[in-house]
Amino acid sequence: MKHVTYIGTRDASIQASASEAILKGICADGGLYIPAEIPTMDTPLEELAKLSYQDLAFTVLRKFVDFTDEELRACIDGAYDEKFDTKEIAPLVQKGDAYFLELFHGRTLAFKDMALSILPYLMKTAAKREGIDKEIVILTATSGDTGKAALEGFADVEGTKIIVFFPEDGVSPVQKLQMTTQEGKNTCVVGILGNFDDAQTAVKQIFTDVELAAELEARGYVFSSANSINIGRLVPQIVYYFHAYLQAVKQGGLSMGESINFSVPTGNFGDILAGWYAMKMGLPVGHFVCASNDNKVLYDFFQTGTYDRNREFHVTVSPSMDILISSNLERLISHMVGQDLTKEEMTRLQTEGKYSVEIKESKITGEYATEAETYTAIKDFFGKTGYVMDTHTAVGYAAYKKYKEATGDNTPTVIVSTASPYKFTKDVMMAMDDKYKTEDAFVLMDELAKISGVAIPEPIRGIETREILHKNVCEKTKIQEFVKGYLL
């Protein structure tokens, strides 16, 4: 089988195998790895429809990795097992006028589990293939969900350490406790006095610091990433777009070969980019709605062609989307306009905080939902259907409604549901009724269970009573200093 070669978004002469790209995480020049050629899906949809999630993952991922079939099977079997609380791994449910792809049935109740359950296995296999005998240090910035999912995946994995940075005052109470109570001798969690963009920028700088890399390599360490800047994090997400489509067909709401739309709440652009890759592989997608919250830098980009992070940063009720530097957009731009222009514009982003690129025929429309519109979507949809959305899924649904109203596009649509409402109980309940404003978030879980008919998920039951194991806090300008102090 022909395997994909990965190249840099800013320099096509930077080339790597899948194993090399997974281990490095980021290119030496600060660019990201992309497939030199996006593979096509040569198995007919009718055949794919017969597969389990695990077998579908095998069929998709073998197009992107250089592993043997046995190695890849072992990775998939280790990832998609009883740690998910539904047999389907990612159930598709039809409610009201849309489908909801529930990606929150893993241990951390968020879509990041879909990729971060398999990344440690991909990374260990890649390290073995590349003959890496040094300890791999996973550096991760999180806006809320990636951190816990990465910690869960890498905790006590031999030959690794993981350091997670999160905005100290920019995540939900449940998200924070999920991270700070994390067990595992190789885990380290740090709250930063800044936002996600500050953490992500610092982590990227560490990856491209040649002197630091040499110093740590001499001590037996190599860096890698669990963020979606790592192609090994991004590629597994392609699978659930195929899965969603095939489930819609099985449920009778879609004819095989008919187009489907997706509305994706996104901040860092990785989730929606995975769907775009699925479309490029041959999945019949009509359109993507890129759904933003009040930090609508992506909405403005798709409206105007100008990306400008020079704006007020909003802390919202959908914190995993509170991002002004959407790293994965660089991948789409590189595919669309080439490496030279991408390099030029990414330099402008670094120096001026903005850039302009004309993207044609991407099949992506930007939409956004304000905090008030997010609350309204949760309340109204529950009133009509009895289905409870979390604050991020609600952004996706509200954006879908705006897109549909503006275009008249009645194509069957999947809302990518990225988190359980239990991760954001307080805001979900406040959306239902302002009387919950003064209630404790953890007490309200019982109330949410009553109105939703869905039991409190086991992974967070009683989380407020667990011991805080990680109490590190650092200034946003001291992240590299912290990493060196922790490792050396």
pLDDT in tens, 424-470: 999 999 999 999 999 999 999 999 999 999 999 999 999 999 999 99
Instruction: Select from 157, 213, 167, 212 the least CA-distant residue to 187.
Output: 157
Which distant-in-sequence residues (6+ apart) come within 8 Å of 55 by Cβ?
A: none
Amino acid 430: pLDDT: 97
Read off the pTM: 0.94
Instruction: Select from 123, 414, 468, 77 the least CA-distant residue to 278.
Output: 414
Classify strands 135-141 and 160-167 as parallel, antiparallel or unpaired. Answer: parallel
Distances in Å between the Cα of 223 and the Cα atoms of 23, 179, 182, 327, 483 are 8, 21, 21, 18, 11
Handedness of CA 329, 333, 338, 340 (dihedral sign): negative
pLDDT band per the 50, 70, 90 thresholds, residue 2: low
Work out the mean pLDDT of the chain and round it to a whole number: 95
46, exposed or middle or buried, with CB in 10 Å at 0-12, 13-18, 19+?
Answer: exposed
Distance CA 486, CA 24 (A): 21
Q: Give residue-wise pLDDT tens across range 305-361.
A: 999 999 999 999 999 999 999 999 999 999 999 999 999 999 999 999 999 998 888
Letter string b/e over residues 53-85, b meaning 16 or more CB atoms within 10 A of that residue's CB: bbebbbbbbbbbbbbeeebbbebbeebbeebbe
**In the chain, pLDDT over 90 holds for what percent of residues?**
89
Residues across the chain: 488
* Residue 112 among the catalytic residues: yes
Angle at 311 between CA 305 and CA 315, to 5 degrees: 115
Distance CA 149, CA 110 (A): 8
- At the topology level of CATH, where does 92-107+234-458 sit? Rossmann fold (3.40.50)
Cβ atoms within 10 Å of 433's Cβ, excluding its own:
11
Q: Give residue-wise pLDDT tens across range 123-157.
A: 999 999 999 889 999 999 988 788 899 999 999 99
Instruction: Select from 429, 404, 426 the least CA-distant residue to 415.
Output: 404
* Structure tokens given for 338: 């080439």
Which distant-in-sequence residues (6+ apart) come within 8 Å of 81 by Cβ?
A: none
Handedness of CA 64, 70, 75, 79 (dihedral sign): positive
Distance CA 81, CA 77 (A): 6
Instruction: Select from 303, 301, 342 the least CA-distant residue to 325.
Output: 301
Instruction: Select from 364, 369, 361 the least CA-distant residue to 402.
Output: 369
Q: Which of 112, 148, 161, 204 is catalytic?
A: 112
Q: Give residue-wise pLDDT tens across range 354-392.
A: 999 988 888 999 999 999 999 999 999 999 999 999 999
**In the chain, pLDDT over 70 holds for what percent of residues?**
100
pLDDT band per the 50, 70, 90 thresholds, residue 1: low
352, exposed or middle or buried, with CB in 10 Å at 0-12, 13-18, 19+?
Answer: exposed
Distance CA 43, CA 166 (A): 41
Residue 101 amino acid letter: L
Letter string b/e over residues 159-173, b meaning 16 or more CB atoms within 10 A of that residue's CB: ebbbbbbbbbebbbb
Q: What is the mean pLDDT of residues 21-45?
A: 96
**For the chain, what are the domain ranges?**
92-107+234-458
> DSSP 3-state assignment of 61?
helix
Amino acid 70: pLDDT: 97
DSSP for 239-286 reads HHHHHHHHHHHHTTSS-TT--EEEEEE-SSSHHHHHHHHHHHHT--EE
Q: What is the mean pLDDT of residues 7-30?
A: 96
